[in-house]
Structure 1
Amino acid sequence: MTRDEFDAFCKTLAATSHVIQWGNASVWKVGGKIFAICSGWGEGDHPRFSFKCSDISYALLIQQDGLIPAPYLARAKWVQLEKEGAMSDEDLKAYIVAAHKIIAGKLTKKQQKELGLAG
């Protein structure tokens, strides 16, 4: 997945916002809270995708080749794809959707309703 494809996909999720932070990272938020990040600082550097995940997913994913605890965010159960192609685009999209759901679920009921995320 390219950074542009990542951004286009994240944009399709409900109530998201996008900012460029920390130099040149593409940061996606729901309700002001981050659920996914694409970084890659250097010329020709491949994109590194990071996302929030469940405790179980975190424990499993960090054991896979090419996936690491996300720098600065590992204690909050975030993983990072360190190697290009470490996960299929379909799997990455599924984990991004799950990350969005996890973070949206942590918002207050009032915030969820205001953002159209709750019935």
Structure 2
Amino acid sequence: MTKEELHAAAMALPGTTLDLKWGDDHCYCVGGKMFAATDGAYTNLSFKASDIAFEALTTTGRAEPAKYLARAKWVSLNDLRSQDPAEVAEWVKSAHGIVASKLPKKQRAELGIA
């Protein structure tokens, strides 16, 4: 997956904003809450995963628990360019949905999230 493909997939989701944190990390957020993050060069990707996806991705070695965020069920892909764009786009969409579902109902409505 390329930088452009990841950016397009994340920004296409309702209410998504891009925030630069910790120097050069590109963080994709919904309602001010981060759901995916990558380094400035887009070489790796960390994202919020469901409990099942976290277990599946980390036990098979496809991803590793994200540093500092593993307890919150975040995973990290170390070589973004070698990943299937459609699959990563689905993981990002799922991460967005998990985080957005925890926002207050009024905020979700304001952001156009059903």
Asked whether the two chains share a fold, i.e. TM above 0.5, the reply is yes
The answer to whether the 8 Å contact 1:67/1:86 transfers is no
- 1:9-49 CA distances to partner (integer Å, 9 max, x unpaired)? 211111111111112111000000001111156xxxx6111
Structure 2: runs of 5 or more not aligned: none
Instruction: Count matched residues.
Output: 114
In the alignment, is the contact (CA less than 8 A) between 1:52 and 1:99 conserved in 2?
yes
Within 1, Cα distance between the matches of 2:104 and 2:111?
A: 11
Residue in 1 that maps onto 2:21 = 21
1:61 to 52, 57, 62: 57
Aligned counterparts, 1:54-93, within 5 A: 54-84=50-80, 87-93=83-89
What is aligned with 1:31?
31
Are the equivalent residues in 2 in contact too, given 1:50–1:70 (CA < 8 A)?
yes
Which one has a bigger Cα radius of gyration?
1
User: How many percent identity over aligned positions?
Assistant: 40
2:47 to 32, 48, 51: 51
Flag the structure with more relative contact order, 1 or 2, with Cα contacts below 8 A and sequence separation at least 6.
Answer: 2
Matched, 1:12 2:12: yes
Distance 1:47 1:31 in 2: 25
User: How large is the Cα RMSD of the aligned pairs?
Assistant: 1.7
Output the TM-score relative to the length of structure 2.
Answer: 0.90
Q: Could you say which structure has the higher helix fraction? A: 2
- CA-CA distance at 1:83 after TM superposition: 3.4
Structure 1: runs of 5+ lacking an equivalent: none
